[in-house]
C-alpha cells in the first residue's frame, strides 16, 4: 500500500506513493501492465440464467410456468441467479421515445422499468419456493448465501447506465440492454456459466422468424467471438456489444443460447455443461 507523500509537487498537489503515480490511465502500453495473472471470482459456483422478455416472459403462462417448474426442481442442486429481459413493452416505449426524438440515455431510463416489472412477476411466481428479488446496488456479494439458504435470487437484466448510456452506433435504441446486463454481471461476479433462455435453438445466419424457409438458414452451433465479429451478421440472437465484451472478458470464456420455450429440460443440460444450443466462445 502506498504512503502519503507530505511534500507537494511543483503544482502544489499531495500524492500517494503508488505505481500509478503520474500515470494518465490512458496509455495502452501502461494499461497492459495492470493485467492480472488470475482474476478473483466472487461467485464461481453461480450460474446466471437470462430469461428472455419477448421470447419467454411476453408469452405468458404457457411459456413461463413450465420454466418456473424446472427452476424450482433445479434450485437445490444448482446455484442460480435469474435475470429478466424487457420484451415487447420495452419496444413500445422505445418506439414512442424515438418518435419524440428522445436521446439514447433517456430511452435507456424508459426501458429499464419493463425489465424490472418482469423481475417482480417472476419473483412473485417463485415467492413460496424461495424466490427473492434483489437490486443491482446491494446483495450481489450475498448471492452464494442466498442460494445456500434455499433462495432463488432474481434481478432485472438491464444494466444501470441510465442517462449515462453510450451513444448508439446505429440509430438511438440503447445498445446495452438486458442481454448485456446479464453478461456484465456474470463476468464481474466470476460466474460459473451464463445461459440465455430464448425461443430459438441458437444463432442463425439471419432472423429465423423472418425467413421464408428457416431450414435453409445456416445454423451456428459453436463459434468463436472473433469469427462472429468477422461475419458481421445483420442480426444476432444476443445484443451486439456482448461480442466485444466476451472478447475482452477476464472470467467468462463462453456463453450458451438455448431454446427453453420448447425444451425447458435443456436448462439442466446446459447447467451440466452439455452443448444443447449455440455456444459462443473466446
| The pLDDT value given to residue 4 | 47
Express each pLDDT in 89-147 by its tens digit: 999 999 999 999 999 999 999 988 999 999 999 999 999 999 999 988 778 999 999 99
Which band of pLDDT confidence, cut at 50, 70 and 90, is reported for residue 79?
Answer: very high
Per the domain annotation, does 246 fall within a domain? yes
213: confidence class by pLDDT, cuts 50, 70, 90: confident
pLDDT(181) > 90:
yes
- CATH classification of the domain holding 146: 3.40.1160.10
Q: Tell whether 67 is covered by a domain.
A: yes
pLDDT (0 to 100) of residue 137? 74
176 versus 3: which is more confidently predicted? 176
Q: How far is CA 120 from CA 114, 134, 151, in A?
A: 10, 10, 15
32 within a domain of the structure (yes/no)? no
**pLDDT value at residue 30:** 86
Integer angstrom CA distances of residue 37 from 32, 33, 231, 251: 12, 11, 31, 11
Domain count, the chain: 1
Is residue 2 assigned to a domain? no
Flag whether 22 is in a domain. Answer: no
- What does the mean pLDDT of the chain come to? 92
Identify the weakest region by mean pLDDT among 5-9, 56-60, 110-114, 145-149. Answer: 5-9
> Higher confidence at residue 2 or residue 232?
232
Averaged pLDDT, 59-76: 97
Q: Where are the beta strands (DSSP E) in the chain?
A: 4-5, 15-16, 46-51, 79-84, 131-133, 152-156, 193-198, 203-204, 219-220, 222-224, 254-259, 278-281
Specify the DSSP class assigned to residue 21: T
254 inside domain: yes
Q: Which domain holds residue 148?
A: 43-281
Tell me what pLDDT residue 27 has.
86
Q: Is residue 71 part of a domain?
A: yes
Its pTM surpasses 0.85: yes
Supply the DSSP symbol for 165: P
pLDDT value of position 2: 46
Phi-psi region for residue 87, left (φ > 0), alpha (ψ -120 to 50) or beta? left
Residue 84 lies in a domain: yes
Amino acid at each position: 500500500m502506498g504512503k502519503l507523500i507530505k511534500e507537494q509537487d511543483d503544482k502544489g498537489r499531495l500524492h500517494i506513493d503508488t505505481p500509478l503515480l503520474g500515470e494518465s490511465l490512458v496509455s495502452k502500453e501502461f494499461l497492459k501492465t495492470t493485467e492480472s495473472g488470475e482474476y478473483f471470482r466472487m461467485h464461481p459456483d453461480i450460474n446466471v440464467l437470462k430469461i428472455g422478455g419477448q421470447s419467454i416472459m411476453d408469452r405468458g403462462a404457457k411459456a413461463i410456468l413450465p420454466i418456473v417448474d424446472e427452476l424450482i426442481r433445479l434450485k437445490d442442486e444448482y446455484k442460480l441467479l435469474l435475470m429478466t429481459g424487457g420484451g415487447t413493452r420495452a419496444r413500445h416505449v422505445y418506439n414512442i421515445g424515438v418518435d419524440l426524438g428522445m436521446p439514447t440515455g433517456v430511452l435507456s431510463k424508459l426501458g429499464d422499468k419493463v425489465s424490472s416489472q418482469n423481475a417482480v412477476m417472476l419473483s412473485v411466481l417463485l415467492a413460496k419456493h424461495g424466490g427473492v428479488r434483489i437490486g443491482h446496488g446491494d446483495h450481489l456479494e450475498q448471492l452464494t448465501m442466498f442460494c445456500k439458504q434455499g433462495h432463488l435470487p432474481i434481478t432485472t437484466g438491464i444494466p444501470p447506465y441510465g442517462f449515462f448510456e453510450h451513444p448508439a452506433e446505429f440509430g438511438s435504441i440503447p445498445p446495452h440492454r438486458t442481454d448485456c446486463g446479464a453478461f456484465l454481471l456474470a463476468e464481474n461476479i466470476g460466474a460459473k456459466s451464463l445461459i440465455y433462455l430464448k425461443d430459438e435453438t441458437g444463432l442463425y445466419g439471419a432472423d429465423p422468424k423472418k425467413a421464408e424457409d428457416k431450414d435453409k438458414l445456416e445454423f451456428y452451433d459453436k463459434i468463436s467471438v472473433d469469427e462472429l465479429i468477422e461475419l458481421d451478421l445483420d442480426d444476432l440472437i444476443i445484443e451486439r456489444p456482448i461480442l466485444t465484451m466476451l472478447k475482452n472478458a477476464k472470467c467468462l470464456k463462453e456463453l450458451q443460447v438455448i431454446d427453453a420455450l420448447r425444451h425447458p429440460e435443456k436448462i439442466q443440460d446446459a447447467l451440466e455443461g452439455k452443448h444443447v444450443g449455440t455456444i459462443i466462445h473466446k
